[in-house]
Amino acid sequence: MGRVRSPHPNGHRKYLTMPDGATATFDLFEPRSEHCTGEDVTMVICPGIANHSEKQYIRTFVDYAQKNGYRCAVLNHLGALPNIELTSPRMFTYGCTWEFGAMVNYIKKTYPQTQLIVVGFSLGGNIVCKYLGESQANQERVLCCVSLCQGYSALRAQETFMQWDHCRRFYNFLMADNMKKIILSHRQVLFGDNNMKKPQSLSEADLGKLYTATSLMQIDDNVMRKFHGYSSLKEYYEEESCLHYLHRIHVPLLLVNAADDPLVHESLLSIPRALSEKKENVMHVLPLHGGHLGFFEGSVLFPEPLTWMDKLVVQYANAICQWEKTKPHCSDAEQAVSGQE
């Protein structure tokens, strides 16, 4: 209800052809004011499950970031935009970083002077953390990373997602229903007999199971894991979760959750808590209230579209940018001496 007055920032859609023939898209929004440090800074943003740049919470955040001097690049999850057809028999998955990586590489190449703030919402938080942890090179020119309302381990979350407390099972059903609609809208490319090579393990029988699925886990098992050839749901969740990559992230990392998130069970919060206790670059923020990507402020029925979450990310990014600008940097000679020591 707080999103009824969301802004409509103007951006330009970019298209990138992936090695397997898929067409990745992202929207690019230029800053509308000078950044507080005077530097060129770009936020590279990964939305939540089946989301894209046209979602209201993304529009609200992008508009606020633009006003604070940030360029924004927002990934559109593969298959999520209703007016963009798939060009290969593959959709986005829980932890595939290919499209996000392609977007980041485009930004680095097009804007060689820019520095990056990495932001992920929900499922997008898993993707951006996994992306940064996959390679040290992926952290180059990255000032910090912010993950909002992610669950860290799909394997540990799957059992809790079938429980009824906080209406979690009901949310699971609604999200599964939305995923079914998206997959079925690309049915011809994913399941049809066409010239494009679909995954060998994907069959008409899986299409039948998709119609009767009532949970995300059933959809993941029958369809999503097969895009990348995982032999089981356990293997898919294990390999695509950021849990085993978080300790490899060395840039400042802000992990935000809410204690009353209906989707992320409290048992999963031990992951970011333990990480923040071990690593100095990690901060875990856990307000009592906020729900899942909520954090609304203002009146109860019609809160403000701009949320505490939006302001937190921008304020944290501003602080990191200012710290980065003022901290002493070693000269090349000092770095050489340090390396010899």
Residue 116 backbone phi and psi in degrees, to 5: -115, 140
Cα distance between residue 25 and residue 51, in whole Å: 12
Residue 129 pairs in a beta bridge with none
The answer to whether 265 is a known catalytic residue is no
Mark 90-108 as b/e (b = at least 16 C-beta within 10 Å): bbbbbbbbbbbbbbbebbb
Residue pair 41/35 in contact (Cβ under 8 Å)? The answer is yes
Tell me how far apart the 2 most distant CA atoms of the chain are, in Å.
65
The answer to whether 310 is a known catalytic residue is no
Residue pair 171/183 in contact (Cβ under 8 Å)? The answer is no
The answer to whether 292 is a known catalytic residue is yes
Residue pair 300/2 in contact (Cβ under 8 Å)? The answer is no
Structure tokens at 306: 């701009």
Of 27, 221, 261, 310, the catalytic one is 261
Of 53, 88, 122, 276, the catalytic one is 122
Cα distance between residue 68 and residue 62, in whole Å: 10
Q: Which residue numbers are catalytic?
A: 122, 261, 292
